Structure 1
């Protein structure tokens, strides 16, 4: 039986709110909204959008850390990680968000050792400025983190892939994985594209569904359209 690997989005999936949005709302200088509109309209990719928006942040390291200390994750995610480990199923966080923020937030729960692919946030010059680089970008992909490349890496290692996500940054990868636990906008994308998925509201649902995915019963007893798509 082929083993599974979980690829999990962070912002809006693990985290209760989008980290970069919360930072821009509080510390962003004028102009970040225009970049957001250009990205939503498809005029620029998320990497260009995020790079520009991060350059418009103005805050100290202390202010950043204090703000991150107020952000929370889904209350059932630690239990989900524990269950995945019990079932020998590796998890990799794949995010178009900020590596430092993800590590700081997960660190409060003892989960900062989870493998992570995300954009790199670093102090810029002068002080109070920040810069973004994208070590997990891929040629031809406009995202900061190419989640499709992460899927391909897992497949090359011999895994089936489960994607857990919620929005537009997950659409492309959803087309390439073996199954999806979908929240919010990703539900509609999977439904319209005929992608095998189940809707979840959070990690309480994912915690219940994971063992059923791994033993095959989730797909076997899924709705006919989902089961057909999975085949």
Structure 2
């Protein structure tokens, strides 16, 4: 029996042209945010701890400003709607697996035909004085990266014996997942990891590149 193709696609810097968490921090400039970003990149802090501490710098009194900016600042990468349609036509199951936050991911993706249960991201709590990030998809017993939103746990829930697993991503939150899947579509920092580890990957600039390569893979 042939394996069913399944795509796990990152949001920030992949579906979107820019990284929305960094864009929010750059715009609102809470004191100390830039050091936290560098500590996450250098792996001094886990993604969960770093992102949680960044958003804890923002007061909930500015909720409307922050949400409006986050949604309004998004630019969708070319070919995304077409990739979703291609996936539907080809019977490829499509999941969004994001280390981003619900208050901007759900509104942005509501314009596209993606079921909500196919969108994995972190949650937010605006009840206190400062934004609190919640982690409904934390690491399982097989992951100790303290991801926050654990992409590897989600990928493992679709066994390789039954699925041809494809990851599309760009950054540090995609590193661990890239090691598990059959094929990686990579840009930015993820390219370097794939090169270093000799993973099966293809560079992409937009989602039309992904569609073209998926078509080529069909005829092998």
Q: Please confirm whether the aligned pair reaches a TM-score higher than 0.5, indicating the same fold.
A: yes
Q: After TM superposition, give the deviation of residue 156 of structure 1 in Å.
A: 6.6
The question of whether the paired residues in 1 share the 8 Å contact of 2:3 and 2:161 is answered with: no
SS for the counterpart of 1:95 is strand
Q: Secondary structure at the match of 1:121?
A: strand
Q: Which residue of 1 aligns with 2:134?
A: 133
Compute the displacement of 1:75 (Å): 2.5
Displacement after TM superposition at 1:216 (Å):
5.0
Structure 1 runs (4+) greater than 6 angstroms displaced: none
The answer on whether the counterparts of 1:96 and 1:169 sit within 8 Å (CA) in structure 2 is yes
**C-alpha separation in 2, matches of 1:110 and 1:196:** 29
- Answer yes or no: is the 8 Å Cα contact 1:99–1:116 preserved in 2: no
CA distance in structure 2 between the partners assigned to 1:99 and 1:53 by the alignment: 16
Matches within 5 A, 1:49-60: 49-58=50-59, 60=62
Q: CA deviation at 1:78?
A: 0.6
Paired residues of 1:14 and 1:73 also in contact (CA < 8 A): yes
- CA separation in 2, counterparts of 1:172 and 1:206? 21
Shift of 1:2: 0.8
1:226 is matched with which residue? none
| 1:25 CA drift (Å) | 1.1
* TM superposition score normalised by structure 2: 0.90
Q: Give the one of 152, 156, 162 matched to 1:152.
A: 156
- SS of 2:84's equivalent? helix
1:66 alignment counterpart: 68
Secondary structure of the residue aligned to 1:24 is helix
**Do the aligned partners of residues 85 and 99 (structure 1) sit closer, same or farther apart at CA in structure 2, a change above 3 Å counting?**
same
Give ranges in structure 2 of 5+ residues lacking alignment.
Answer: none
> Where do 1:93-172 residues align within 5 Å?
93-107=96-110, 109-111=111-113, 113=115, 115-126=118-129, 129-139=130-140, 140-155=144-159, 158-172=162-176
Counterpart of 2:39 in structure 1 is 38
Write the distance in 2 (CA, Å) between the matches of 1:8 and 1:90: 11
Deviations 1:192-212 (A, max 9, x none): 211111111111101212233
What is the RMSD computed on CA atoms of the aligned residues?
1.8
Q: Deviations over 1:80-133 (max 9, x none)?
A: 0011011110111111111221111122x334535111111221313xx31101
Partner of 2:21: 20
Aligned length: 213
Q: Which runs of 5+ in 1 are unaligned?
A: 218-231
> Would the aligned equivalents of 1:122 and 1:132 in 2 still touch at CA under 8 Å?
yes
